[in-house]
Amino acid sequence: MPCKNCENNPVIKLPNSNIYQCKKCFNKYFEKKVRKTIRMYKLIDKKDIIGVACSGGKDSMTTLYLLGKILKSRNQKIIAITIDEGIDGYRDLTFLKNYCKENNIDLHSFSYKEEFGKTLDTMLKLTKEKPCSICGVFRRYILNTKAKKLGVTKLATGHNLDDEAQTVLMNQFRRNVAASLKLGPITGVIKDERFIRRIKPLYFMTEREVATFAFINNLKDDYKECPNNEESYRCYIRDKLNEIEEKFPGTKHSIITSFLETLPLLRKNYNIKKIKTCKSCSEPCSQEVCQACKLAEKIKLL
């Protein structure tokens, strides 16, 4: 089946349709949809300095590439931020470093070793804490504190439609609706300058669309799976959701659309706890001392 628009060889069949598109038409469609998301949800203001949280994978590389292109045309600043957890044989940042160099993007790298004294591998040898629990807390902490220091006003991540649909379902199934308040194309339940707002420009793009975009635009290196990946529940939901999508096309979009319809009501009616200030580092948190400081202290003593 040739491209619907120009009869060239297709690279993808668009989701929920019988439309095939060639590289050129697909790139145009993809960029247009991302621009629309940015516009509709007011993800970027004229004065914003955007930081892109980069792992080097297809999602963050696509985000960096497209935001780089969009912001360049507006004369706005963009920087890349990356974190090396210290997981043996996992993070190879060569591709990202080269990309940033070639495209004149400032890349700021941080590591758990420098920030918390030990690599994640070392921490895991000394504690029984789950890898992703430690990693998630430290990553969020580094991203928020460093982004602020760098003058970043919004932090872009590469979350796509599949990621978000999985998280919405996981939160529902676990009766953890409060966690969904932080979802959506832009975060910010509470207007608090101590939190750098997160934006997700790929919010309405499916995993397959992002993978195709990254592949045809040479934005993908050999990306390895983290050896600590223990998100078996997410993997289960992902597989089930893909099965349902196969049988009932449009399901993922419907999950997201209905979620977005209820999100303003959720945010309005949910009892949001008062945000305190961490006694140790002055970052915002829900208790006296933030999770990162508690964990860091524990790890220091090991």
Tell which one of 11, 12, 22, 199 touches Zn ion (CB under 5 A). 22
Q: In the bound complex, what is the minimum distance in angstroms from residue 231's beta carbon to ligand SF4?
A: 7
* Residue 14 is a binding residue for ligand SF4 (CB under 6 A): no
Where are any strands of DSSP class E within the chain? Answer: 12-13, 20-21, 50-53, 78-84, 106-111, 154-156, 197-199, 276-277, 284-285
State the binding partner of 228 from Zn ion, ligand SF4, none, CB within 5 to 8 A by kind.
ligand SF4
| Gap between the Cα atoms of 187 and 204, Å rounded | 15
Instruction: Give the β-pairing of 78-84 and 50-53.
Output: parallel
> According to CB under 6 A, which residues from 78 to 117 bind ligand SF4?
85
Q: Which is nearer to Zn ion, 194 or 234 (CB)?
A: 194
* Residue 125 is a binding residue for ligand SF4 (CB under 6 A): no
Tally of helices (H runs) and strands (E runs) in the chain: 12, 9
> According to CB under 6 A, which residues from 230 to 289 bind ligand SF4?
none
What separation, in Å, do the N-terminal and C-terminal C-alpha atoms of the chain show?
61
* Residue 290 is a binding residue for Zn ion (CB under 5 A): yes
Tell which one of 76, 226, 281, 284 touches Zn ion (CB under 5 A). 281
- State which H helix or E strand residue 268 sits in: helix 251-269
Dihedral sign for Cα 76, 58, 197, 131, please: negative
Q: In the bound complex, what is the minimum distance in angstroms from residue 137's beta carbon to ligand SF4?
A: 10
* Residue 131 is a binding residue for ligand SF4 (CB under 6 A): yes
Q: Which is nearer to ligand SF4, 135 or 295 (CB)?
A: 135
State the binding partner of 245 from ligand SF4, Zn ion, none, CB within 5 to 8 A by kind.
none
* Residue 143 is a binding residue for ligand SF4 (CB under 6 A): no
Reported residue count of the chain is: 302
Take residue 116 and report the two structure tokens written for it.
């918390």
* Residue 10 is a binding residue for ligand SF4 (CB under 6 A): no
- Say which residue the tokens 């983290």 belong to: 226
State the binding partner of 244 from Zn ion, ligand SF4, none, CB within 5 to 8 A by kind.
none
Take residue 4 and report the two structure tokens written for it.
């619907």
* Residue 229 is a binding residue for ligand SF4 (CB under 6 A): yes
* Residue 25 is a binding residue for Zn ion (CB under 5 A): yes
> Strand, coil or helix: what is 26?
helix
Q: Which is nearer to Zn ion, 170 or 278 (CB)?
A: 278
